[in-house]
Chains A and B, each alone.
Chain A
Amino acid sequence: MSDAPTAQTASSSAAEARIADAAYTGPMLAADGTPLKKSLNRALRLQKMRALALIAPLLIFVLVTFIAPIADMLFRSVENEIVSETLPRTTTLLANWDAKGTEIPDEAVFEALYDDMFYAIEAKEHTKLGGRLNYELTGMASLFRKSGRKVEDMGEVYQDQFEGLDAFWKTGENWNSFMGSDEWLASMAGWTKADGRQPKFKLREGMADVLPATTATYLKYAAFTQNEDQKNLYTTDPWAIVYSSLHKDLTGENALADYAGPAAEQLKAGAAAATSFETVNFSEAFLDIDKKWHDLDVWTTIKAYSPKLTSGYFLNAIDMQKSVDGAEMRPENQQIYGILFYRTMKMSVIITLSCIMLGYPVAWILANLPARQANLLLILVLLPFWTSLLVRTSAWKVLLQDQGVINDTLVWLGIVATDDRLALINNQTGTIIAMTHILLPFMILPLYSVMQTIQPTYLRAAKSLGATNWTAFWRVYFPQSVPGIGAGSILVFILAIGYYITPAIVGGTEGTFISNRIAYHISSSLNWGLGAALGAILLAAVMLLYYAYDKIVGIDNVKLG
């Protein structure tokens, strides 16, 4: 209050300055003739820079530890690159496949799947993808894991036939002799691991035209062998898929007729023989691995999750799912999140209200006691903060359980019958009791600090004006303590909806919160996308409530002290 006159003086002097301004026609000039504004800005810039430098560590800390994780979480809740990155060719081809039809994709898709799977297996990405898709369709995890072991064998049909045709095809040195450039071959000839970095593979000139498919596959194989496996490419035997690519080239379009480089003879012999090679039907081959590969659901799921961004996690988080016809509700026996969100909100409100009811009188007493006693009492209020959350929660377990202290006392007093003990734990009551206790200080402290600023003269003034004790409290004291209630409620409510340890311990099945499911998805099911989507919804709900609070009560009316 004492600063009110100052504020007024300041504003009136500002008004005077404006009036003074208005008297001049041009902008105000500093002594050296530069515009005053510019001169002022220059003078202030240094100060601003210094201030910025001072808060920079904090700013960076907040950005790194707070903003970045939230951004990461929001991103994860829609991110879905794994499908298209692991199966690039397959998902591209699937774009043209009619998911609503009854036909499974054609051979071209399966061939692409073979290609994609082969590289994914080499990079050990296929099981990861299986895990991801298993969230959407049960059985995908084992389908991909199982296929991983067998896809490698598929290309061996061609490998065996080429090797049977000519022992030349058996060794990596022979392959390199015509795939690699002369320069690279020369640099590899004397290379050993001790020499340091392996010379990067260089393709023989013109090879890309002669054997296009083989070249593409070989480049991938070479890069993977050199970089990921760290093996000597020169002496390593190529992957089976290189042979199937070669078969494709030799039986399809190629420019072999004009080729006269190394191994031209073997290649031409191969081309002659390849037309009569036993071929692989990839669709059938995948069916052999697992009959699920001819299951429509598998393919609609892969197609549905092909895009790099997905709404799937968010749909899941509101008990919906993607289907061929767009989003639809999940079957009733899988709906859980709506209930949990509602329950979390409802119980958080109850906990907040209980905290107000219990915390208000305590804060009032604290604020009205002499400083010495108030400090002592404050320590008692803060005492729960100094014990571990787990200890406190477990203590409630001891108190509240059927054979616990409270029930035993009630039975001893004859208030309840021994076979009719109160159910105080493993239900919502338990969660509300334990969490009210844990969060109470967060209500008392802001209330206390706000109440401390309410001078006792207000109550005296009200009484001197003819108000009874109750009227004085209700019309004069209480409205002034509302900012404390607001601050406490926001703190308690926001902390409450994010709690999971306490509900997990004392909440049983009825008293668990949405955060328990988030924790489950983060630490147990590893479905981080769904966890992130649930977290994002929770964040949005909090912000919405905050916005509503600002609209109704006004955020200026929140005081922490």
Chain B
Amino acid sequence: MNLTKTLMASTALTVAAGMAHSDGHMASEMTIVSWGGAYSASQQNAYHTPYSEMTGVKIINDESSAEAVSKLRAMNEAGNVTWDVVDVVASDALRLCDEGLAMEIDPDTQLADAPDGTKASEDFGDLLVGDCFIPQIVYSTTVGYRTDLVGDTPPTDICAIFDTDAYPGKRSLEKRPIGNMEWALLCDGVEKDAIYDALATEEGQQKALDKLATIKDDVVWWSAGADTPQLLADGEVVMGSTYNGRLFSLIVEQNQPVAMLWDAQMFDLDGWIIPTGLSPERQARALDYVMFATDTQRLADQSKYIAYGPARKSSAPLVGKHAELGIEMAEHMPTDPENAKNTFLYNYEFWADYRDDIDAKFQAWLVK
């Protein structure tokens, strides 16, 4: 490790020497990392373009969010962090925070208050997961089904996934334990409140896997968010889980014969982190951007372009119509009361602990 340290130190020195030249308060250019596709487009429209117009800062887009954690770690080891603001899911933010790769944020001083003066910490509430995460949207992993392949009784609850008699055909599920294990236990009769206690035990984990085993032959496992929409569109699967925004565009924008099953949708959060190891100018710029991009109006603006719910309570009433289709977006939000009757919130604390263990078991189960 000493070699690595020497290497890092010398690199840091070089970087520092390079930075000594830059004067002024904030950097005039920044690299923002996100997921690409429609999601990045929505951020471009709602955040980047207005921010650039307002400040003249040039924003460079990088679509590396899927590998953000490993890349940030590698950058940090090399002592050369080139990203200024990174869009990650909350669990990754937690991990980055644990690793010391993301800077801690004080919401009340570093994030904007709501228009009515409510402090950011209160406006975001529980969604402030960990010390580094700045929430942006609430999305959910939920199930869509082919309306033409489910007969006269379309599914209404999540356990339809496990009911191959009523709904024969393949179903697509994400190739990871998170979400699937909870649904399996729920449909195996475990009380919703008791699910994580059960999952913390060897028996509970086995129970969940046993439940999944009943449909193992009928499952197509996906690892990219685009897979399930494609499989649904091709008629390869009768139902499948994916992000609600993907299903929204499949149903509303592409007019496919697909419908949403909101039951037991798995809420998750996506938001920003600012990497550690930035120069003061770049850090100041990144903080300035984040304060702008997560204010009440900006978060509400993003929902014009994509069907994900703004993370601030104060943004909800401002959610309007789709920028192009002109339809009301509120009813397509996972957070809409009609849709959110029965929900899970991704248990970050639990999965941070059990992810390695359960994933090993889950993958071993998959392989056999």
Chains A and B touch each other in the complex, with CB atoms below 8 Å apart: yes
Interchain nearest-CB distance for A451 vs B (Å): 40
A residues less than 8 Å from B207 (CB atoms): none
B118 CB within 8 Å of chain A: no
- Given contacts A339-B367, A403-B234, whether A527 and B356 have CB atoms under 8 Å apart is yes
Verify A336–B360 contact, CB threshold 8 A: yes
Kindly supply a per-residue 1/0 record for chain B positions 176-205, scoring 1 wherever the CB is within 8 Å of any chain A CB and 0 otherwise. Answer: 000000000000000000000000000000
Verify A336–B100 contact, CB threshold 8 A: no
- Give Cα distance in the complex from A522 to B70, angstroms: 7
- Give Cα distance in the complex from A339 to B366, angstroms: 11
- Give Cα distance in the complex from A524 to B220, angstroms: 21
- A142 interface neighbour in B66, B70, B73, B349, Cβ under 8 Å: B349
- Give Cα distance in the complex from A85 to B368, angstroms: 39
Please give me the residue from chain A that is nearest to B66 by CB atom: A523
B223 CB within 8 Å of chain A: yes
A368 CB within 8 Å of chain B: no
Verify B98–A141 contact, CB threshold 8 A: yes
- In the complex, which of the residues A79, A81, A401, A517 has the most CB atoms of chain B within 10 Å of its own CB atom? A401
A residues less than 8 Å from B221 (CB atoms): 426, 508-509
List CB contacts (< 8 Å) of A507-539 with chain B. 508-510, 512, 517, 520, 522-528
Verify A401–B234 contact, CB threshold 8 A: yes
- Given contacts A127-B99, A401-B234, A402-B236, whether A142 and B352 have CB atoms under 8 Å apart is yes
A131 CB within 8 Å of chain B: yes
- Given contacts A139-B353, A402-B236, A504-B223, whether A336 and B363 have CB atoms under 8 Å apart is yes
- Given contacts A142-B352, A401-B234, A403-B235, whether A128 and B223 have CB atoms under 8 Å apart is no
B residues less than 8 Å from A131 (CB atoms): 95, 98-99
Kindly supply a per-residue 1/0 record for chain B positions 342-368, scoring 1 wherever the CB is within 8 Å of any chain A CB and 0 otherwise. Answer: 000000010011111101110111111
Please give me the residue from chain A that is nearest to B176 by CB atom: A524
Verify B353–A141 contact, CB threshold 8 A: yes
Interchain nearest-CB distance for B198 vs A (Å): 15
List CB contacts (< 8 Å) of A127-178 with chain B. 127-128, 130-131, 134-135, 138-142, 145
B residues less than 8 Å from A140 (CB atoms): 353
A residues less than 8 Å from B70 (CB atoms): 522-524, 526
B67 CB within 8 Å of chain A: yes
A residues less than 8 Å from B363 (CB atoms): 336, 517, 520
- In the complex, which of the residues B98, B99, B220 has the most CB atoms of chain A within 10 Å of its own CB atom? B98
Please give me the residue from chain A that is nearest to B206 by CB atom: A333
Interchain nearest-CB distance for B14 vs A (Å): 16
A124 CB within 8 Å of chain B: yes
* Contact residues on A (Cβ < 8 Å of other chain), bracket: 35 or more
- Give Cα distance in the complex from A85 to B5, angstroms: 13
Please give me the residue from chain B that is nearest to A80 by CB atom: B1
Interchain nearest-CB distance for B345 vs A (Å): 17
- A340 interface neighbour in B97, B99, B235, B367, Cβ under 8 Å: B367
Verify B69–A523 contact, CB threshold 8 A: yes
Interchain nearest-CB distance for B220 vs A (Å): 6
Verify B352–A141 contact, CB threshold 8 A: yes
Please give me the residue from chain B that is nearest to A136 by CB atom: B356
Chain B: residues with Cβ within 8 Å of the partner, total of 37
Interchain nearest-CB distance for B275 vs A (Å): 14
A125 CB within 8 Å of chain B: yes
Interchain nearest-CB distance for A125 vs B (Å): 7
List CB contacts (< 8 Å) of B117-143 with chain A. none
Verify A508–B357 contact, CB threshold 8 A: no
Interchain nearest-CB distance for A80 vs B (Å): 10
- A125 interface neighbour in B73, B100, B209, B236, Cβ under 8 Å: B100
B residues less than 8 Å from A504 (CB atoms): 223
Verify B354–A138 contact, CB threshold 8 A: yes
Interchain nearest-CB distance for A314 vs B (Å): 16
Verify B100–A127 contact, CB threshold 8 A: yes
Verify B97–A127 contact, CB threshold 8 A: yes
Verify A138–B367 contact, CB threshold 8 A: no
- Given contacts A138-B353, A340-B367, A525-B359, whether A403 and B99 have CB atoms under 8 Å apart is no
- In the complex, which of the residues A79, A343, A402 has the most CB atoms of chain B within 10 Å of its own CB atom? A402
List CB contacts (< 8 Å) of A483-513 with chain B. 504, 508-510, 512
- A334 interface neighbour in B95, B175, B234, B360, Cβ under 8 Å: B360
Kindly supply a per-residue 1/0 record for chain B positions 23-58, scoring 1 wherever the CB is within 8 Å of any chain A CB and 0 otherwise. Answer: 000000000000000000000000000000000000
A335 CB within 8 Å of chain B: yes
- A333 interface neighbour in B73, B355, B365, Cβ under 8 Å: B365
Interchain nearest-CB distance for B23 vs A (Å): 16
A residues less than 8 Å from B368 (CB atoms): 339
Verify A124–B100 contact, CB threshold 8 A: yes
- Given contacts A81-B1, A127-B97, whether A335 and B364 have CB atoms under 8 Å apart is yes
A residues less than 8 Å from B366 (CB atoms): 509
A residues less than 8 Å from B361 (CB atoms): 333-334
Verify A128–B99 contact, CB threshold 8 A: yes
Verify A336–B69 contact, CB threshold 8 A: no
Verify B95–A526 contact, CB threshold 8 A: yes
A residues less than 8 Å from B356 (CB atoms): 134-135, 138, 525, 527
- Give Cα distance in the complex from A241 to B16, angstroms: 33
- In the complex, which of the residues A125, A522, A523, A527 has the most CB atoms of chain B within 10 Å of its own CB atom? A523
- Given contacts A333-B364, A426-B220, whether A138 and B1 have CB atoms under 8 Å apart is no
B residues less than 8 Å from A135 (CB atoms): 356
Interchain nearest-CB distance for B74 vs A (Å): 9
A residues less than 8 Å from B69 (CB atoms): 523-524, 526
Kindly supply a per-residue 1/0 record for chain B positions 65-108, scoring 1 wherever the CB is within 8 Å of any chain A CB and 0 otherwise. Answer: 01101100100000000000000000000010111100000000
Please give me the residue from chain A that is nearest to B216 by CB atom: A509
A residues less than 8 Å from B99 (CB atoms): 127-128, 131, 526
- Give Cα distance in the complex from A340 to B364, angstroms: 10
B residues less than 8 Å from A334 (CB atoms): 360-361, 364
B residues less than 8 Å from A79 (CB atoms): 1
Please give me the residue from chain A that is nearest to B67 by CB atom: A523
Kindly supply a per-residue 1/0 record for chain B positions 227-267, scoring 1 wherever the CB is within 8 Å of any chain A CB and 0 otherwise. Answer: 00000001110000000000000000000000000000000
Interchain nearest-CB distance for A309 vs B (Å): 11
Please give me the residue from chain B that is nearest to A336 by CB atom: B364
- In the complex, which of the residues B99, B360, B367 has the most CB atoms of chain A within 10 Å of its own CB atom? B360
- Give Cα distance in the complex from A191 to B360, angstroms: 56
B residues less than 8 Å from A528 (CB atoms): 73
Interchain nearest-CB distance for B178 vs A (Å): 11
- In the complex, which of the residues A135, A336, A527 has the most CB atoms of chain B within 10 Å of its own CB atom? A336
- Give Cα distance in the complex from A141 to B175, angstroms: 23
- Give Cα distance in the complex from A81 to B354, angstroms: 24
A residues less than 8 Å from B235 (CB atoms): 403
B residues less than 8 Å from A134 (CB atoms): 352-353, 356
List CB contacts (< 8 Å) of A312-342 with chain B. 333-336, 339-340
B residues less than 8 Å from A128 (CB atoms): 98-100
- Give Cα distance in the complex from A523 to B88, angstroms: 13
- Given contacts A127-B100, A334-B360, A525-B359, whether A142 and B353 have CB atoms under 8 Å apart is yes
- Give Cα distance in the complex from A508 to B217, angstroms: 11
List CB contacts (< 8 Å) of B148-195 with chain A. 170, 175
List CB contacts (< 8 Å) of A234-258 with chain B. none
Verify B236–A401 contact, CB threshold 8 A: yes
A residues less than 8 Å from B359 (CB atoms): 525
Interchain nearest-CB distance for B287 vs A (Å): 18
B residues less than 8 Å from A125 (CB atoms): 100
Please give me the residue from chain A that is nearest to B276 by CB atom: A124
A residues less than 8 Å from B175 (CB atoms): 509
A-B contact pairs, 17 of them (CB 8 A): A125-B100, A127-B98, A128-B99, A142-B349, A145-B98, A145-B352, A336-B367, A339-B368, A403-B234, A403-B235, A404-B234, A426-B221, A504-B223, A508-B220, A523-B69, A525-B359, A526-B95
Top 10 nearest A-B pairs by Cβ distance?
A: A127-B98, A336-B364, A138-B357, A523-B70, A509-B366, A124-B100, A142-B353, A139-B353, A523-B67, A81-B1
Q: A142-B352, A333-B361 are in contact. List 9 more A-B contacts (CB 8 A).
A: A131-B95, A504-B223, A509-B221, A509-B366, A512-B367, A523-B67, A523-B69, A525-B356, A526-B95
